[in-house]
Amino acid sequence: MELRSLLQLAYVGATTILLKRKRPLVGSIILTDKCNLACKHCAVSNITSIIYPYAQIRAEMQGLYTEGVRILFFYGGEPFLWRNQGRTLRDLVIEAKQIGFLLVNVVTNGTLQVDLPEADLVMVSLDGGKEKHNAIRGETYDRILANIEQASKENVCLYMAINQINKGDIKAVCETAVRTKNVKAVSFNFHTPYPGTEQLKLSRADKQVCADKIAQLIDAGYPILNLKSALPYIVDNTFPTPCYQCVVVENGGKWVCGRCIGIEGLCAECGFFFAAEFSLLFKGNLKVTWDLLRTYLKYI
Ligand SMILES: C[S@@+](CC[C@H](N)C(=O)[O-])C[C@H]1O[C@@H](n2cnc3c(N)ncnc32)[C@H](O)[C@@H]1O
Ligand code: SF4
Ligand code: SF4
């Protein structure tokens, strides 16, 4: 991250904490729910399969920036499937930077393409070693790793959703990160049990074992883009929800924290680490704030 962007983010973050502001800082735009995969743990793909038009995405970007958002994520569905009026995901990332977003990230399944040098982070979902990943995501592991290695910039962060199938593969993904070209770090989530995916959820005891493993790997120096200080809150689901500084927009709709906010009871079982990490940060948790500064400076 450039020093100028870092200082700007630190200023916006500090005023949000000190003035107890609830305005959003982290925004996600869903470009489409269309997807080329059908992962076992996912409940959000191919519901409409609509690719949202460029004009709408552009207005959403401008709206979020005006509201105060400075960290932007492009999500799907599969965002690399997005195309409209001759524009691609890459054009959107470039425009987002021109608008003034300080960090622009993309979350992708990595099967179509990974190379996006203009993005700060390309979060590529990898759900285990080859066997467990393919059990969840179909035969995609080799293609994803080849795409990562062929990228032109070291801006990839592996993104693993830990569930009943792959809970034993946390270290394997960290080792893949270390040995794979272009990968900077790994980021984890626990499975969030959307209706229809409850069979994959982790018990509290499972989460504790996984959190202990993640903490041990952080201590051992593996490149992990999560905060050790937030893990106890994630295991016990005691972080404040929703995270008012996070916002998601899709096709004219807007949700604080996540689209999942409308699903009754889901926040109490939330496995999204960002929700815990950002809500604790913006509540002024000093340990989390220090941990975030140290961790983000290392990997972004
Ligand atoms: C919905 S996908 C969209 C982007 C892209 N298609 C991908 O797979 O990375 C974004 C992330 O959400 C994760 N995810 C999907 N369902 C989840 C669930 N029930 N709990 C936690 N994470 C989930 C995926 O593994 C992926 O890393
Ligand atoms: S690739 Fe992403 S959006 Fe598609 S089914 Fe898998 S998790 Fe869902
Ligand atoms: S806390 Fe936020 S991300 Fe987690 S389930 Fe609730 S709305 Fe979704």
Which value, to the nearest 10 degrees, does the dihedral of the CA atoms of residues 195, 200, 201, 202 take?
180
C-alpha–C-alpha distance, residues 6 and 27, integer Å:
17
- The answer to whether the CB of 277 is under 6 A from ligand 1 is no
**Does position 7 have pLDDT exceeding 80, yes or no?**
no
According to the model, what pLDDT value does residue 204 have? 98
128 C-beta closer than 6 A to ligand 1:
no
Ligand nearest to the CA of 110: 1
pLDDT of residue 30: 98
> What's the rounded Cα separation, in Å, for the pair 49 and 59?
21
Question: What's the whole-number mean pLDDT along residues 70-87?
Answer: 97
| The pLDDT value given to residue 250 | 96
DSSP 121-137: EEEEE--SSHHHHHHHH
The one-letter code for the residue type at 245 is Q
Work out which ligand 1 atom sits closest to the CA atom of 124: 9
Q: What is the CA radius of gyration of the chain?
A: 18
Q: What is the pTM of this model?
A: 0.97
Residue 229 confidence (pLDDT): 98
Closest among 162, 153, 81 to 122, alpha carbons compared = 153
Average pLDDT, the chain: 95
pLDDT tens by residue, 52-64? 999 999 999 999 9
What per-residue string of b and e applies to 185-214 under the rule 16 or more CB within 10 Å gives b? bbbbbbbbbbeebeebbbeeebbebbbebb
Quick: pLDDT tens for 152-203.
999 999 999 999 999 999 999 999 999 999 999 999 999 999 999 999 999 9
Any ligand 3 atom below 6 A from CB of 96: no
Would you say residue 1 has pLDDT above 80? no
> Domain 27-299 adopts which CATH fold?
TIM Barrel (3.20.20)
If DSSP codes are grouped into helix, strand and coil, which group holds residue 260? helix
- Over range 203-209, report the average pLDDT: 98
Distance 58 CA to ligand 2 centre (A): 24
